Amino acid sequence: MSSLVHDSLLLAGRTFAHWRAQPVPFLVTLLFPVLVVLMMGGLFGGAVAGSAGDYVPFVVPGVLALTMLFGLETTMIAITTDAQRGVTDRFRSLPLHSGAVLAGRCLADLAASVAALAAMTAAGFALGWRWSGGPGDVLAAYGLLLLLRLGLLWLGVWAGLRAPGLEAVAAVQIMVWPVGFLSTVFLDPATMPSWLGAVAEWNPLSATADAVRELFGNPGVTGGSWPADHGQELSVIWPILMVAVFAPLSAVAYRRLNR
Amino acid sequence: MDAAIEAGAVRKHYRGARRPALDGFDLRVAAGSVCALLGRNGAGKTTAVRILTTLLTMDDGTAAVAGCDVRSDGDGVRRAIGLVGQNAAVDEVLGGRANLVLFGRLRGLAKAAARARADELITRFGLDDAAGRAVGTYSGGMRRRLDLAASLVVPPSVLFVDEPTTGLDPDARREVWATVRRLVDDGVTVLLTTQYLEEADELADHVAMLRDGRVVLEGSPAELTSLVGETRVEVRFATADDAAAAGRAAGPYAVGPVDVDGVAVAVPVADAGAVTGFCAALAATGPAPLDVAVRRPTLDDVFVHVNTVEEVR
Ligand SMILES: Nc1ncnc2c1ncn2[C@@H]1O[C@H](COP(=O)(O)OP(=O)(O)O)[C@@H](O)[C@H]1O
Ligand SMILES: [Mg+2]
């Protein structure tokens, strides 16, 4: 066990060294969600909420959840690049703990997401976003966001290991947008056609967005449907389901890389 | 002598592949020697290396490296080996030194020991000027050297090097050869794969020719070249008459039939004495040649031979 901790900390440290060596791409991933809030607030704020200012309390928690979805791409790029370049094979040829490489990836990506959440939170505050929930609720909200990230992380690890090449990452980069829009991140599903609204309400992203809005004490969606009324439960169930499915699949894919 | 690598009847059929990549692969490499696994693209070299380094499981057969079974004692194998894969597998973003420190620490060296070892290897592999630069900016040869260094942070007892010089320019190739030779002086057992006969000839004590997933011929470079024939003296003349006269003069020095083809004569000879004797006879009596060459059989001839003859053994 101690070798697992030792090895995965070293491998996570490798990613931190990448951030130091190439701060610009790292800062771009931190600030991109902020750009999304500014853009969506400016474009849709007036139409959706009457003004950009009134839209902020709704959209900031939504984009906090969306930021976790953006992390999927970071994970997949890192995993696919290492697998393609043979770096993963080199790690696999070393006497490391068998879980260390993927655990190191998890640690590094969760750390990146903590930084991205901090950046988005600071930007939210600058735009006038506030929470009214107690400290416990606020911590629980951030916990749920990171739990979603953990679920997506294992999806990203699995997809990255199975990807035939870096081109596959581009497909995921594109898919992030329909998944992001077909959720309650930007809009209340009550304003959508009913079938589209149902898709949006079942989206795991929506569960987390709804749950954290409630915990932060921010305005939420209209509700009335089962998934919309059970955001808290779904925001725990979805990520746990993703981990339960994709962590074992990733472990198998890692052992069988390139067969 | 102890075998550092032992593989018996290894079979590997990739899912979806038309034919097995390895099919009855046998190999024994003595401890402290350099073995070249020689074969064309697709012969199964990388598959063999990946199985012996525990990256891939075989369908059938047995294999042990440094006395550890690759199936039941993968960790033992991984503790004993170094692997330099077909593509330089180092971190492109980090500097060369940072890479070596990382690999050292992953091999269990303490921070200070890993740093000291990294500095030592950086100097030994001539990377001092580039030690802090991102590896992404390195030339192919520098990357290869770093790759080799990374597999030596903790000296392995068996080193696998998969096509170390494919895609390198001649200078970089010579640098890599020099590095491999130095390893051998340190007593490391090396299994090297290559498509180049010259490389096998330069570096290996033992050459195993791989074709269609099995070793079709093996031995020392000298043993293999002696299989396909003798040293020949090749002489060209201005006219066919001169060539015919020279062919008759060659009789006493030849160990086999003299080959006269137009203006060219090829004389199989046994030793250097026969070469000088034949040349002296030509100078004394025969016509003046336009060109004289002594041609030894090369591994190339063996390679062509093996790849044209259907069944060697
Ligand atoms: N992952 C794979 N899936 C299917 N076939 C493969 C795979 N890797 C290699 N092969 C096939 O196995 C054979 C041997 O490949 P390889 O060991 O890479 O040869 P070499 O290294 O000598 O060029 C080739 O025919 C190759 O196409
Ligand atoms: Mg190969």
Q: What is the DSSP letter of B209?
A: E
Which numeric CATH code is attached to B230-296? 3.30.70
Residue B56 touches chain A, beta carbons under 8 Å:
yes
Average pLDDT for A70-96: 93
Higher pLDDT among residues A238 and B171, named by residue: A238
User: Tens digit of pLDDT per residue, chain B (313 long)?
Assistant: 579 999 999 999 998 899 999 999 999 999 999 999 999 889 999 999 999 999 999 999 999 999 999 999 999 999 999 999 888 789 999 999 999 999 999 999 999 999 999 999 999 888 999 999 999 999 988 998 899 999 999 999 999 999 988 878 888 888 888 888 888 888 899 999 998 888 888 899 999 999 999 999 899 887 877 776 677 888 888 887 887 777 777 788 877 778 888 788 888 877 777 788 888 888 887 778 888 888 777 666 677 777 665 444 4
Residue to probe by mutation, ligand 1, list B47, B49, B161, B307, most atoms within 8 Å of CB = B47
B96 vs B120: CA distance, rounded Å? 12
* Strand arrangement of the beta sheet that strand B22-30 belongs to: B22-30, B3-12, B60-65, B68-69
Strand order in the sheet with B231-236: B259-261, B264-269, B231-236, B291-295
Cα A252–Cα A179–Cα A29 angle in degrees, nearest 5: 80
**Residue given tokens 């060209």 in the structure block:** B236
pLDDT of residue B313: 41
Distance CA B85, CA B96 (A): 17
Q: B189-194 and B214-219 as β-strands: parallel, antiparallel, unpaired?
A: unpaired
A14 touching B, CB under 8 A? yes
- Determine the topology of domain B3-88+151-226 in CATH: Rossmann fold (3.40.50)
Q: Any residues with CB less than 8 A from the CB of B209 and at least 6 apart, and which?
A: B38, B39, B215, B216, B217, B218, B224, B302, B303, B306
Element holding B35 (H helix, E strand) = strand B34-38
Question: Where in the sequence of chain B do the CATH 3.30.70 domains occur?
Answer: 230-296
- The rounded Å distance from CA B50 to ligand 2 centre is 10
Cross-strand partners of B62: B8
The DSSP annotation for B237-270 comes to: -SSHHHHHHHHHHHGGG-SS--EEETTEEEEEES
What separation in Å is there between the alpha carbon of B80 and the centre of ligand 2?
22
Which residues have a beta carbon within 5 Å of ligand 2, which is an ion?
B 45-46
CA–CA separation, A79 vs A166, rounded Å? 10
Question: Which among B12, B40, B46, B163 is the best mutation to test ligand 1's pocket, defined by most ligand atoms within 8 Å of the CB?
Answer: B46
What are the boundaries of each domain within chain A?
2-255
- Supply φ then ψ for residue A184, to 5 degrees: -95, 15
**B170 SS3 class:** helix
Residue B214 Cβ < 6 Å to ligand 1 = no
Nearest residue of chain B to residue A19 (CA atoms): B93
What are the start and end residues of each CATH 3.40.50.300 domain in chain B? Answer: 3-88+151-226
CA–CA gap between residue A91 and residue A104 (Å, rounded): 12
Instruction: Please indicate whether, in this complex, the C-beta atoms of B89 and A89 are within 8 angstroms of each other.
Output: yes
What the block records as the tokens of A36 is 């999304």
